[in-house]
Amino acid sequence: MPGNGRVVKSSLLTSPKAAVTALNTLQSNYTIVKAIRDSGRSINQNSIPEMIEWLRKVGYQVHELHPPTANEQLRTDC
């Protein structure tokens, strides 16, 4: 049930599905995700512009970020 106030220990989150289930117990997360789905908009459609705006708010610009080096793997399995 969304927003039931349960606390989930991070050690119990053994899979991405478990993490999403735990997030959905937070009323604010559930409400936001539901509102986006109900609007018909894609969550990903706004994510890059929103991230650029948050970078700006904390004093960074995209060109100041560096791409992953050979020792840092870019995760695409999330």
Gap between the Cα atoms of 23 and 33, Å rounded: 10
Question: Tell me, what's the pLDDT at 1?
Answer: 42
pTM of the predicted protein model: 0.36
The answer to whether 2 and 27 have CB atoms below 8 angstroms apart is yes
Q: Tell me which amino acid residue 73 is.
A: Q
Q: What pLDDT, in 10s, does the model give residues 20-66?
A: 888 778 777 778 878 878 888 776 777 888 889 999 999 998 888 87
- The token duo for 31 is 């409400």
Question: Tell me, what's the pLDDT at 76?
Answer: 62
**What's the pLDDT band for 15 if we cut at 50, 70, 90?**
confident
Above 90 in pLDDT, residue 77?
Answer: no
Helix (H, G, I), strand (E, B) or coil at 26: coil
Gap between the Cα atoms of 28 and 39, Å rounded: 17
Question: Tell me, what's the pLDDT at 8?
Answer: 52
